[in-house]
Structure 1
Amino acid sequence: MNKILIAAAVVAVGAGGYWYSQQSTSLSTTDSAVLSYVPADTPLFSAQLNPFPIKDYINSLSDAYRQFPPGSFDELEQESDQRAQFFVSLLKSYADSMKDGDTFITTFGLAAEVRSYVYTLGAVPVFKIEVENADAIWAILDKAEAQSGLTHTPANLKGVDYRSYQLTDAEEKEQVSLVFAVHDGLFTATLSTSFTEATLLETALGVTSVDNSIADANIVEEIITKHGFTNEGVSFVNHKEIITALTSTDGNQLAGQLSKLYEIMGEDPMAELKTPACSSELAAIANNWPRTVAGYDELTVTDSHSAFGFRTVIESENQVLLGAYQKLRGYLPSYTQYIDNSVFSLGLGIDVNQMVPALTGIWDDMLTPEYQCGPLAEMQMQMSQQSPAMLGMFTGMANGVKGLGVSLIDYKISEDTQSPQLDSLDAVVTLSADNPATLFNMAKSFVPELANLQLPENGDAIELSSVVPIPAELNITPKLALKGNHLVLFSGEKGAAIADKLEKEPVTSNGLFVVSADYMKMFDPLLTFIEMTGEPIPEELEGMKHYDMRTQFTLDIDQQGFEIDTHMDSRATK
C-alpha cells in the first residue's frame, strides 16, 4: 500500500509542477468544454485560458536557463527499476527539447501557442494540454518504453484510445496506473486506480462530464473579477474543500476517496478531526481563509524577451486579523522597488511601534473563541503560555523604526588579474524612522567605535574609513549621513545619488517586504574576471553564465488578504 501512495504522490507532484498561467479577454469555447469536466469541489485548479506563445517563450530564455547541468540525470540513471528508467527517459527528452522553441514544440507535437490545464478530481491529478501532432507524443513514449523496458496496456474507453502504464507491483492488491490519451485535440495525463470510482477515468479523459462543474459555478470568472486578474490564466487552492475532506467521510469527492483509502489501510489517521467540534471549528477557520488564488497582471512574450507579473492572494474574510496585520506595514524605500536599477535590493517594512499592539490583537483573536477540537485546543494552550507583550522590551530600543533597505547598485572588478580588486562599488543601506538621529546616538553606547562620531543634521555625509578598517583591495569609501527620516550608509556616486533623493522621501506605510535581483549584473563581472585569470569557472557558477534574468518578489497585505507579487523578466542570450 505504501508503494501505491508513493507512486500516486510522485505523479501528482509532477503534474502539479506544470503550473503557469497568463492574460487576455473572455473564456473560449475550448475552456468551457474542458471546465465542464472539472467538478466545482476540486481542491486544486490551474488553467492557461488563452493560448500561450510557448515557442517564443522558450526562445526568449537565456541559454543557461534552457540547459541542464552536465550529469543532472547520472544518479537517476543508476536506478534499476523500469518505472524509474521510464521517467528518466521522459525527463531527458524534455531536457533535449529545450534547445530552442522549434525543437520543443516539434518534440511534443505542440502548436506555437497552447492552452493547458492542471486540476484534481478529488485526489486524482489531471493534466491537459492542446496538441497539434499526437504522433510526436506517442513517439516519445515509445522511446521511453524501448529505453526502460516498461510497456503499456492499450485500452479504449467509450471511443477514446489510451495507454495505461502500471506503477504498482503486480502482486499488490490495489493497483495504480499512469494513463495517457489524446482526445479532441487535448493530450491528457492522469491516474487510474483500483480503489476509485470507475467513472473517474471517463471524466478525466473528457467523455463524461460532471453534474456540478467549475463552469456551472462560475468560479473562474468570479476569481478574475474579484481580484482584477487578466483572463489569461487563473489558479487556486480551495482550503474549504480540503478541510471538508479532512473532517468528513463523504462531504465532497476528495473526502469519499480518502475514506476508501483509509478503509484499505485499515485505519483513519484523520479520525480525530471528524468530531462535531473539529468539523465545525475547522470549517469556521476555512471560511475565514477560503482560498489561495493566483493570476497574471502582466504578460509580454516575444522570441527575444519575456516579462511576467504573477500575483498570489491568500484570501481572508477575517477583518480583525487583516486590520492587525496591516498595522505592521512599514516603509519600503523607493530604490528597493525597481527591478532594473540594481544588482540586488531588499526592503523590509515594519512599523516597530505597532508591532506589539498588532501582534497582541492577532494573539487575542487566535485565542478566541475557546476551541473544543483537540488539536486546536492544544494549539491554543501552547499559545496562551506565550505573550507578544514580551517583545516590548526589545522593540523599545528600536522605537520609531519604519523600515530597512539594502541595495547593491553596481560593482566593477579590475582587469588586473595579478592584483585583483574592486574598481568600484555602489551600494546603499538605510534605516528609516521617525527620528533616526536618536537611534544612531543610542547605538553609540553599544558600539564604542562610533562614540566620537557626530552626524551633521544638515545631511552632510561623514566618512567611516577611520572607524571601519577596510582592506585596500576593496577600494571603497563608506559614508554615513542623516537624510530626512533616513540614516543612510552608502558608497559610490550612485549610492550618493540615492542618499540625496531620500532626503525628501516621506516615510509612509507602503508595504511589508520586497526583494529583487538582476542575475546578469550579479554574476557577469565575477565570471568575466575568472575567465580572464585563466582559471576554470566553478561548476556551481557555470550555469549562471549569461543568465539574463531579473526577478522581484513582494509581500504585502490589504483588505482581501495577503498578496505575493512575483515579477520575472528574461532576455534571450545575444
Structure 2
Amino acid sequence: MKKILIAAAVVAAGAGGYWVSQQPSSSAEQSNTVLASVPADTPIFSGQLAPFPIKSYINSLSQSYKTYPDDMFAEFEQSDDARAKFFVSLSQIYMESLESGEKFVTTFGLADEVKSYFYTLGLLPVLKLDVAKPEAIWALLDKAEQESGYSHEMKTVKGVSYRAYTLTDVGDSEPIELLFSQQAGLLTVTLDTPMLGEGILETALGLNPITPSLADSGILQNIIKTHGFRDESIGFINHQELVKAMTTKDGNQLARQLTALAEQEGEDPLLELRTPDCHSELSAIAANWPRTVFGLNQLSIGDKESSMDFSTVIESKNQTLLNALKSMRGFIPDYVKNSQDSVFSMGIGIELNQLVPSLTAVWDEVLQPQYQCDVLNQIQQEMSGQSPAMLGMFTGMANGVRGVSATLIDYKFAEASDQSEPSLESVDALISLSADNPSMLFNMAKSFVPELANIQLPQDGSALDLSHIVPLPPEYGISPKLAVKGDHLVLYTGDKAAAVAEKLSSEKLDNNGLYSVYLDYSKVFAPILSLAEMTGEPIPEEFSMMKDYNMQVQMGLDINDQGIVFDSYMNNKVSSDKDTQGGE
C-alpha cells in the first residue's frame, strides 16, 4: 500500500504541477523569491516568469473539454477508503469549476492571471501557485473532508503552519503526508516523509536558504536565450543531475535520497551503475545530451479563442550525431505544414538516399567509444550485431524519395432517401509521394503491380482516372485520380483535393522536417454525428460530448543545431450554436 500511495502522490503532484505550468503567471519579485528557494541542481523544473490569463483561458475552452461522464468517479465513490473519497471530491470540484473562468478562479481563490511553479527537491515534488484569496483553498479542502470523512492535522515548522494529510496506513513506520501551506499569497503543495532526510520540509516551504539556487544559476535565462522561449512557460529536465544521482551515492540531493532508500530496503538497484567507469562514461554522455527543455514560442489567449505554440528540445552538443540526423530530413508539403483547412494531415519527411549513411554514422558514433561500464558495454554488443546497412536493400528501390504525405480535406454524408440508407456523399483526400524523379519511381512500381503495367502516366501534369482499376461503388463518392505534379506523384479524389494537388506543382523539394501531423477535432466528429442523427442511432455519451470539441492540434518532429525538436500547436475556440448542431 505504501509504495502505491507514494507513486500516486508523486504522479498527482507532478501532473498537477505540469498542468498548471502550462497556464503561465505574476510579478518578477515573486518569481525571484520562489526561484531563490529552488536548488540549482533540481532535476525537474517547470514554471512561469510572466503572468498567464487563466480566467480567459478557461473561458476559451469548448464545453466538451469541461464535461465528464456521469460515471467517471463511480468506482471510487463506492470505496470505503476515506483517502480515495477525498481525492475524488477534489477532482469533482475541479471538473465542476471548469464551467467558466469566473467560477474556476473563484473556486480556487485565484487572480485572473496566475503563476505556478513545479520542481523537485531530489525525489520530493513541490508545487507553488499564486493565490489571491487563501480562504478559498481552505474552504474547498474543508468541503472534500466533509464529503469523505478524511481529516487533516495542523502542524507548524519554524512558525509556519500547514495542513498535513496522512497518505500511508495507520502504524506505518515510514509515514507520508500530503501538505498544504499558504504564505504571502503563495500556496505550497508538497509531501513530507522522514525517508527523504532532515530539513527537506523547511526547504520545500522556502524557509531554508538555498545556495546555489536556480535564481543564481542563470539556467532559465540561458534556456530562453538559446531557444527563444517566452517567459509564460519554461522548464527543463536535467539529464546530468539524473545521471549523477544514478551513478554516485552522494553527488547531489537525489543521489543521497536514493542511497538512503536503498539502505532501508537492504539492496541497491543502482549498484551496477554506481561504479567509477559508469559514472565517468555516463557523465560524458550526459554532457553531450545535457537537458530536455520546453517552453512557449507563441501565446494568444482570449475569452473566445486561445492558441499555444509549444516546443520540447532534447539538447545535444554532439554535432556529429546532429549532423547525421539533420541529413535524414526530408520534404513535408505545405498542405501538411499549414493544414488549417483539413480534417487530418500527416507527413513523413525522409531523404531515403541519406537514410542509410545517416544511420550508419549514428551507429558508428555510438559504437566508437570502448566502454568499460558493463551496462553500456552490453548495449554496444547488442548494437554491433546489427547494422543499418541492411536497410540499403530496401531504400535502393526507392531512390530519390524525399517524403510521403496524406490529407483528408473534407468528407460528407448524404441524407437517406425513401430507397436508400444514408451514404458517403463525397470525399476530398490526397496522398503524395515527393521525389527527385517521381515518374521513374512510378515506372518501377509498375513491375510489382500488374494492374498498372499498361498505364502511361502523362508528363504534362494532367490527371489519369483510375476508376477502372480501382472500381468503387458510386455511393462512396470516391473517384481516384493519379498525376505527376512537379516533383510529386499524387493520388487524389475530389475537387478540393485537385486544387491542393495543383498547388503542389509549384512546391520545390526542400528538406524541411521529419514528421508533422494535424487534426481538427470539430471536422472529424461533425459529419459522424450528422450521420448518427440521419440514421437515428443513439450516440454514446462519450462520443456526444465531442460534438462541440472545437480544437485543432498540430505536432511535429525536427532536428536543429540545438538538438531534437518536438513542436506542438493547439488552438481552442468556444463553439458557436451552429458548430454544436452536428452539421458542416
TM (norm. structure 1) is 0.97
Structure 2 unaligned residues grouped into runs of 5+: 577-584
1:115-194 paired onto structure 2 within 5 Å: 115-194=115-194
Cα displacement string for residues 472-513 of structure 1 (whole angstroms, at most 9, x for unaligned residues): 221121100011111000111111111111112111111000
| Structure 2 partner of 1:16 | 14
Question: Could you list the runs of 5+ residues in structure 1 that have no partner in the other structure?
Answer: none
Once the two structures are TM-superposed, the CA of residue 470 in structure 1 deviates from its matched residue by 1.0
C-alpha deviation, 1:416, in angstroms: 2.6
Stretch deviating more after TM superposition (534-543 or 550-559): 534-543
2:522 to 498, 520, 523: 520
CA drift of 1:468 comes to 0.6
The correspondence for 1:565, drawn from 518, 542, 567, is 567
User: What secondary structure sits across from 2:50 in the alignment?
Assistant: strand
Q: For residue 48 of structure 1, report the CA deviation from its aligned partner.
A: 2.1
Which shows bigger deviation, 403-412 or 444-453?
A: 444-453
Determine the structure 1 residue equivalent to 2:251.
Answer: 251
Q: Identify which range, 227-236 or 266-275, moves more after superposition.
A: 227-236
Q: CA deviation at 1:186?
A: 0.7
Q: Secondary structure at the match of 1:523?
A: helix
Name the structure 1 match of 2:498: 496
Task: Please tell me whether residue 233 in structure 1 is matched to residue 233 in structure 2.
Answer: yes
Per the alignment, residue 395 of structure 1 pairs with 395
Structure-2 residue corresponding to 1:334: 334
Counterpart of 2:209? 209
Structure 1 residues 93 and 534 mapped into 2: Cα distance closer, same or farther (>3 Å)?
same
Equivalent in the alignment of 2:453: 451
Q: Secondary structure at the match of 1:208?
A: coil
* SS of match in other structure, 1:49: coil
Provide, for residues 33-67 of structure 1, a one-character-per-residue CA deviation record: whole Å limited to 9, x for no partner: 00010000000000022221111111100000111
Please tell me whether the aligned partners of residues 25 and 231 of structure 1 are also in contact (alpha carbons under 8 angstroms): no
Contact kept, 8 Å, 1:114 with 1:129, in 2: the verdict is: yes
Within 2, Cα distance between the matches of 1:286 and 1:345?
36
* 1:69 match: secondary structure: coil
1:542 partner amino acid: S
**Within 1, Cα distance between the matches of 2:170 and 2:194?**
13
What is the Cα deviation at residue 540 of structure 1?
4.0
CA RMSD across the alignment: 1.5
Equivalence for 2:297: 297
Tell me how far apart the structure 2 counterparts of residues 399 and 26 of structure 1 sit (CA, whole Å).
55
Match of 2:218 in 1: 218
Is residue 110 from structure 1 mapped to residue 132 from structure 2 by the alignment? no
8 Å Cα contact 1:328-1:352 kept in structure 2:
yes
1:216 aligned counterpart, secondary structure:
helix
- Give the match's secondary structure for 1:215: helix
Deviates more, 1:303-312 or 1:139-148: 139-148
Comparing 8-17 and 276-285, the one that deviates more: 8-17
Please tell me whether residue 46 in structure 1 is matched to residue 55 in structure 2: no
What pairs up with 1:402-481 in 2 under 5 angstroms?
402-416=402-416, 418-481=420-483
Structure 2 counterpart of 1:291, which letter? R
Q: How many angstroms apart in 1 are the aligned matches of 2:442 and 2:528?
A: 35
Query: Which shifted more, 426-435 or 145-154?
Result: 145-154
The aligned amino acid for 1:396 is G
Q: Against the structure 1 CA distance between its residues 332 and 148, is the aligned structure 2 distance closer, same or farther, given a 3 Å change threshold? A: same
Q: CA deviation at 1:112?
A: 1.1
**Aligned CA distance change for structure 1 residues 26 and 396 (closer, same or farther; 3 Å):** farther
- Match in the other structure for 1:57: 57
In the TM superposition, what whole-angstrom CA distance separates every residue of 1:96-120 from its partner, at most 9, and x where no partner exists?
Answer: 1111111111111111111001000
Whole-Å Cα distance in 1 between the matches of residues 22 and 124 of structure 2?
25
Q: What is the SS of the residue equivalent to 1:273? A: coil
TM-score by length of structure 2 reads: 0.96
Q: Residue 27 of structure 1 contacts residue 231 of structure 1 at CA under 8 Å; is this kept in 2?
A: no
Counterpart residue number, 2:533: 531
Distance 1:278 1:435 in 2: 49
1:322–1:557 contact (8 Å) kept in structure 2: yes
Query: For the residues of structure 2 that align with 1:23 and 1:103, how far apart are their CA atoms?
Result: 16
The SS at the match of 1:75 is helix
SS at match of 1:490: strand
Which residue of structure 1 aligns with residue 322 of structure 2?
322
Pair 214,374 (structure 1): closer, same or farther in 2 beyond 3 Å: same
Distance 2:89 2:270 in 1: 38
Give the corresponding residue for 2:96: 96
CA contact (8 A) 2:466 2:481 kept: yes
Give 1:358's aligned residue.
358
Q: Aligned equivalents of 2:158 and 2:367: distance in 1? A: 54
Please identify, of 26-35 and 375-384, the stretch whose mean Cα deviation from structure 2 is larger: 26-35
Deviates more, 1:22-31 or 1:560-569: 22-31
Deviates more, 1:118-127 or 1:25-34: 25-34
Name the aligned partner's letter for residue 421 of structure 1: S
Greater Cα shift, 222-231 or 3-12: 3-12
Matched length: 572
User: Is the CA contact 1:26–1:231 (under 8 Å) kept in the aligned structure 2?
Assistant: no
Judge conservation of contact 2:432–2:490 (CA < 8 Å) in 1.
yes
Instruction: Give the Å deviation of 1:442.
Output: 1.3
Q: Distance in 1 between matches of 2:2 and 2:283?
A: 30
Q: Secondary structure at the match of 2:213?
A: coil
Task: Describe the shift of the 1:147–1:200 C-alpha distance in structure 2 as closer, same or farther (beyond 3 A).
Answer: same
In the alignment, which residue of structure 1 is the partner of 2:266?
266
CA distance in 2, matches of 1:541, 1:470: 29
- CA contact under 8 A between 2:24 and 2:47: conserved in structure 1? no
**2:486 is the alignment partner of 1:484:** yes
Is the contact made by 1:83 and 1:167 (CA closer than 8 Å) also made in structure 2?
yes
Would the aligned equivalents of 1:24 and 1:230 in 2 still touch at CA under 8 Å? no
User: Which residue of 2 is the match for residue 69 of structure 1?
Assistant: 69
Q: Which has the larger displacement, 265-274 or 101-110?
A: 101-110
Residue in 1 that maps onto 2:579: none
Once the two structures are superposed, residues 224-245 of structure 1 have per-residue CA deviations (whole angstroms, 9 ceiling, x without a partner) of 1111111222010000000000
2:109 and 2:506 mapped to 1: Cα distance?
A: 57
Instruction: Give the superposition deviation at 1:76.
Output: 2.2
CA displacement at 1:198 relative to structure 2? 2.8
The answer on 1:312 being equivalent to 2:312 is yes
Q: What percentage of aligned pairs have identical amino acids?
A: 53
Distance 1:209 1:297 in 2: 33
The structure-2 alpha-carbon separation of the partners of 1:22 and 1:230, relative to structure 1 and needing over 3 Å to count, comes to farther
- The superposition leaves residues 436-478 of structure 1 with CA deviations (integer Å, 9 ceiling, x where unpaired) of 1111111112111111211101111011110012122211211
- Are 1:377 and 2:377 matched, yes or no? yes
Q: Is the 8 A contact 2:484 2:490 kept in 1?
A: yes
State the secondary structure of the residue aligned to 1:140: helix
Over 3 Å counting, the alpha-carbon distance change for 1:112 and 1:557 in structure 2 is: same
Q: Does the 8 A contact of 2:236 with 2:291 survive in 1?
A: yes
Any conservation in 2 of the 1:426–1:495 contact (CA below 8 Å)? Answer: yes
From the superposition, tell whether residues 393 and 548 of structure 1 become closer, same or farther in structure 2 (CA, over 3 Å).
Answer: same
Aligned 8 A contact 2:26 2:52 in 1 = no
Pair 1:203–1:24, CA change in 2 (3 A): closer
Q: Partners in 2 of 1:45 and 1:7 — Cα distance?
A: 23
- CA shift, 1:171, in A, is 2.2
Q: Distance in 1 between matches of 2:135 and 2:26?
A: 31
User: 1:27 Cα shift?
Assistant: 7.1
Structure 2 letter corresponding to 1:9: A
Deviates more, 1:324-333 or 1:145-154: 145-154
2-structure distance, mates of 1:310, 1:27: 22
The answer to whether the Cα contact below 8 Å between 1:420 and 1:473 also exists between their aligned partners in 2 is no
The answer on whether the counterparts of 1:23 and 1:297 sit within 8 Å (CA) in structure 2 is no
Structure 1 residue 7: deviation in Å? 1.9
